Amino acid sequence: MSIRLVSWMKSRVLLVTTVILLGGCTQYGTQPPQVKSVVSPSVKQSAWKQRQAYIARRQNWNLNSKISLRYGDENYIFGLNWAQQPANKYTMQITNPLTGALVAKLSRQSGGVTLLSDNGRTYRDTDEERLLLNQSGVRIPVKGMQYWVRGIASPQHKVEQLILDNLGRPQTLYQAGWKISYSDYLNNSSQAMPRKVVLTRSKDKLYIKLIAKRWQGI
């Protein structure tokens, strides 16, 4: 090995070592590692119950968000504006993430569920999940998502497992075969709405990530 090559390798090692040390100083030099406070399970459960009751009472809300959906080897990205009303009535506008153009609209009224596609065709059913499955081939848990996107459990399904943070908000929730993960909230309030929600169901090879852009009514 030539002297020039050995010299170059030593200089690279020195450079990498310096970067690592400087990075370590930035992270640990003046800022001591933070110790998370310990909150008892009973306090978390109490806050969780209060959160669910508080949010469930608010039946008029609007969510503007971006959805990433992966089904098998297929990937989709679209905008979603969800306007919820009492008595489980709602309107979901699915839009092109770049242009904002309306791609489809799903709505539930007292007469049932209607899906309006961008080609002008209208499809109807009494069950939204069955309607979407028939038209798209994907089983999207709309009924459960009405609750999960707000960071509360669906009353229609048993809670299989629940992991709460210190404010009584869900970090991970398992219901109806779905794993719902929450990694970010709008603020540090125990009633804060989620900013990022990820739903996965390994059985269906389905991955849904929702990024909330704006919440209204909650």
What is the tens place of the pLDDT at every residue in 113-149?
Answer: 999 998 889 999 999 999 999 998 898 999 999 999 9
pLDDT number for residue 38 = 72
Coil, strand or helix at 98: coil
Is pLDDT at 7 greater than 90 in this prediction?
no
pLDDT number for residue 174 = 98
90 vs 120: CA distance, rounded Å: 20
What is the tens place of the pLDDT at every residue in 53-71?
Answer: 999 999 999 999 999 999 9
Strands of the sheet containing 194-201, edge to edge, are 122-125, 112-117, 102-109, 90-95, 74-84, 61-71, 206-216, 194-201, 178-185, 170-175, 159-164
pTM: 0.81
CATH of 59-216, one of 2.50.20.10, 2.30.30.100, 1.10.510.10, 2.60.40.1220: 2.50.20.10
Give the list of residues 6+ apart from residue 8 with CB closer than 8 angstroms, or none.
none
Partnered with residue 34 across adjacent β-strands are none
Q: 37 pLDDT band (50/70/90 cuts)? A: low
pLDDT number for residue 8 = 35
Mean pLDDT for the chain overall: 86
pLDDT number for residue 111 = 84
